[in-house]
Amino acid sequence: MRRSVLQWGMASSWTGRRVRLRAIEPDDWTAFTRFADEDGRRAGRLDLPRSAESYRAWAKEQAVAECDDDRFRLAVVTADTGELVGTIGSHRSGPRSGWFEFDVMVGADHRRKGYATEALVLLSRFMFAERRYHKCLAVILAHNEPSLALTRRVGFTEEGRLREHVFFAGRHHDLVMMGMLADEFDRRHTMSGP
């Protein structure tokens, strides 16, 4: 059964102390434009400048997106004011083997406040407890210490490295493979509570 991401965003299980996960709305495009202007690099590559219209179209497309094989993207908003601070999603999954990969992005002005950590815990709880996945994976550039620290804080373990696997900014960089099993998550965060 395919469910709209909008349906998921309404349950209280999507709310923590600091953040709430909700569906992306068409009006969110202005925040995403600001986030892109902050650092220009995403996932190890320098993106070409995008038009405001491309952000409008992307947000509108996300607002009506259906969950396809448990791949989806949600907005991360502050629990107290509802300010959009980033996104989190499951961008790849292997339902037969029971794994999924996540990605998270928090705007520069909102980093180091625990938003990404709590959003990742909420997403992981859903994927492990509700969707029955067994393992969460993350692929992180070796020099991205904040992202490595985030995954370690949540309970991920380094599982390996792909040496000099990604080229950007004039040189090759290692990718670090991080993983966390459902029972490791449950021991640390519990499947049922905030």
- The answer to whether residue 161 sits within a structural domain is yes
φ, ψ of residue 9 in degrees (nearest 5): -70, -5
* Distance between CA atoms of residues 55 and 119, nearest Å: 23
Work out how many domains the chain is built from and give that number: 1
How confident is the model over 160-166, as a mean pLDDT? 95
pLDDT at 100 over 80: yes
Q: Which band of pLDDT confidence, cut at 50, 70 and 90, is reported for residue 8?
A: very low
Residue-number span of the structural domain to which 168 is assigned: 5-189
φ, ψ of residue 51 in degrees (nearest 5): -80, 160
The helix/strand/coil state of 85 is strand
How confident is the model over 30-47, as a mean pLDDT? 68
Q: Which band of pLDDT confidence, cut at 50, 70 and 90, is reported for residue 55?
A: confident
- The answer to whether residue 181 sits within a structural domain is yes
pLDDT at 1 over 70: no
pLDDT at 4 over 70: no
φ, ψ of residue 67 in degrees (nearest 5): -70, 125
Question: Helical H runs in the chain?
Answer: 5-8, 29-39, 52-63, 115-125, 145-154, 182-189
CB 92 within 8 A of CB 67: no
CA of 35: how far to CAs of 110, 119, 139, 142, in Å?
Answer: 10, 17, 21, 23
pLDDT at 157 over 60: yes
How confident is the model over 177-186, as a mean pLDDT? 97
CA of 24: how far to CAs of 45, 68, 83, in Å?
Answer: 24, 16, 12
pTM for the predicted model, two decimal places: 0.86
How confident is the model over 146-168, as a mean pLDDT? 95
CATH number, domain with residue 115: 3.40.630.30
User: Whose CA is closest to 8, among 117, 127, 133?
Assistant: 127
The helix/strand/coil state of 156 is coil
Tens digit of each residue's pLDDT (9 = 90 or more) over 128-148:
999 999 999 999 999 999 999
Q: Which band of pLDDT confidence, cut at 50, 70 and 90, is reported for residue 180?
A: very high
- The answer to whether residue 194 sits within a structural domain is no
Tens digit of each residue's pLDDT (9 = 90 or more) over 102-122:
999 999 899 999 999 999 999
